[in-house]
Amino acid sequence: MKTWFITGISRGLGRALAQAVVARGDAVIGTVRGTPPELHGHVKILTLDTGDAASIPAAVDQAFAHTGRIDVLVNNAGYGLLGALENATDRELERLFAVDLLGPIRIIRAALPRLRAQRAGHIINITSIAGRAPGSASAAYSGAKGALEMVSAGLSQELRPFGIHVTAVAPGAFRTDFLAATSIQKSATANYDSTGVAAFDAMNGNQLGDPDRAARAILDITDSPTPPLHLLLGSDALNRMRAKLAAVTDEIDRYEAITRSTDFA
């Protein structure tokens, strides 16, 4: 039986994952900010706001104290901020990066001494396709999730000697309440085309992704002896990433001469 520490299990992908984990007989230590979900099985609920730096060490200590070890650590808690970057306030940006980027980093740092002592474990950071292939009206959110992607990539190299795996999971649009008021905030769109935000509104309830299938996919990679560093979830994420890679390759090729011109002759 594995023990999972999952942040943000009250709704959405986090809840679907927690349900899938306990359904197969594993244990879940999950965090919520408010009312805990009804989950049956080996479940312990902790109250944690991942944007509150001071509360994180104690929560991680509680998690390890409960079972003595953590096999899979999932940084899932987070939310979105939509709208023009110019119009986002400092307070909005600071809160977004505190929850979506610094929170996961702080949780990982708090857990690493014990994970290294175990010489085993799997850290899964839930990012977003927006962090790999950004779109309109999501520059701030893309920045936070893109940074978590790069943190994951560098961290995986640091932790490889200790037998600890790292995976950045980038979902596309999944049919959860992520686009509802509970998980999304909107900054002003004055002076900008608001079609980007409107597209998110129109998508709500019609997303392609099934959160239960996403949960099963995450379970699958934790059972693999060679899990991926980067994992896309959803055909929409796959299509966006392929288009992004094609555009990046094209741009590199077009400007190759300038790139090479900066070397010493």
- What are the residue numbers of the active site? 141
- Non-local (6+) Cβ contacts of 7 within 8 A are 14, 30, 31, 48, 50, 74, 75, 76, 77, 103, 104, 107
- In 3D space, the residue among 13, 52, 53 whose CA is nearest the CA of residue 33 turns out to be 52
Task: With beta carbons less than 8 A apart as the criterion, state whether 18 and 6 touch.
Answer: yes
Task: With beta carbons less than 8 A apart as the criterion, state whether 12 and 178 touch.
Answer: yes
- In 3D space, the residue among 47, 152, 159 whose CA is nearest the CA of residue 112 turns out to be 159
Four-CA torsion 18, 23, 24, 29, nearest 10 degrees:
30
* Phi, psi (deg, nearest 5) at residue 178: -60, -35
* Phi, psi (deg, nearest 5) at residue 103: -60, -55
Q: What is the rounded CA–CA span in Å between residue 125 and residue 149? A: 8
- In 3D space, the residue among 245, 179, 159, 222 whose CA is nearest the CA of residue 13 turns out to be 179
Helix (H, G, I), strand (E, B) or coil at 74: strand
Q: Tokens at residue 24, please?
A: 């197969």
Token pair 């796959």 is found at 238
Rg of the chain over all Cα atoms, to the nearest angstrom: 19
